Amino acid sequence: MRDYDYIKIRNEVRKKVEETCHSRNNKFKSSVWQYHIIPVVNHSLKLGKKFKADLEVLELAALLHDYAGLKNKNFYKNHHLHSVRLADKILTNFSFPKSKIAQVKQCINSHRGSVRIKPKTLEAKIIASADAMAHITNLADMFYLSFGVHQYETKKGAVWLKNKLQRSWSKIMPEGRKMIKEDYRIAMKILNKAEKACSSDVPQSESWSADSSFAGH
């Protein structure tokens, strides 16, 4: 019999993270909740059920993996480390078992492909995969990141995004790739087309003239 109320802890953590996503200090804007955090939770639970992993560890790690970066933009650069620190504080306050807190912290610590900390446990591998999967299954939000947050023009933004999604794909475990391969195919089709578009694609027909209906735009 468990001596802690998981659902209560999960709901409190969920509320905390959602409020942080919606706060004005969050430089990624509130859409990060719906288009990133929730998809990471869903992907990790789906993979976790397949591999019979610890779903409590996965759900809390998915909710908290980017927490510090959402709370304070100065934490973004090392948000994996700051999120580990904050997760420890939050989960200890909620009396979540110490051994499970250690597992959550391991997942958060190694979730980023860019910092070269290899995920070692099954749960840590799942969280790193789920984080990368969310980039690919939420393409509209990645467009916002490229063209809205970074303000790239069309081609530069498309190339940047293509490279980012390719890096994400390389981080995903085979089971995860199977789940989202159609999303990846569609994303690459759109981004390859944008990358290849060049001036020779402009129609050269005789009917083209300066006073065409398009000229005023």
Footprint of Fe ion on this chain (CB under 5 A)?
66, 131
> Contact, 130 vs 176, CB < 8 A?
yes
**Between residues 77 and 120, which has the closer beta carbon with respect to Fe ion?**
77
Six token digits for residue 28: 């990624």
Query: Cβ 211 to Fe ion, closest distance in Å?
Result: 50
Query: Cβ 62 to Fe ion, closest distance in Å?
Result: 9
**Between residues 54 and 66, which has the closer beta carbon with respect to Fe ion?**
66
Residue 76 has what DSSP assignment? S
Q: Which of 106, 27, 24 is nearest to 64 (CA)?
A: 106
Query: Cβ 92 to Fe ion, closest distance in Å?
Result: 22
Contacts 24+ apart (CB under 8 A), 138-141: 138/35, 138/36, 138/39, 139/183, 139/186, 139/187, 139/190, 140/35, 141/31, 141/32, 141/35, 141/36
**Between residues 54 and 131, which has the closer beta carbon with respect to Fe ion?**
131
DSSP sequence for 73-137: GGGSTTHHHHHHHHHHHHHHHTT--HHHHHHHHHHHHT--GGGT----SHHHHHHHHHHHHHHHH
Query: Cβ 145 to Fe ion, closest distance in Å?
Result: 12
> Contact, 82 vs 53, CB < 8 A?
no
Query: Cβ 162 to Fe ion, closest distance in Å?
Result: 19
**Between residues 123 and 131, which has the closer beta carbon with respect to Fe ion?**
131
**Between residues 46 and 156, which has the closer beta carbon with respect to Fe ion?**
46
Number of DSSP helices (H) and strands (E) in the chain, helices first: 11, 0
**Between residues 59 and 131, which has the closer beta carbon with respect to Fe ion?**
131
Query: Cβ 111 to Fe ion, closest distance in Å?
Result: 6
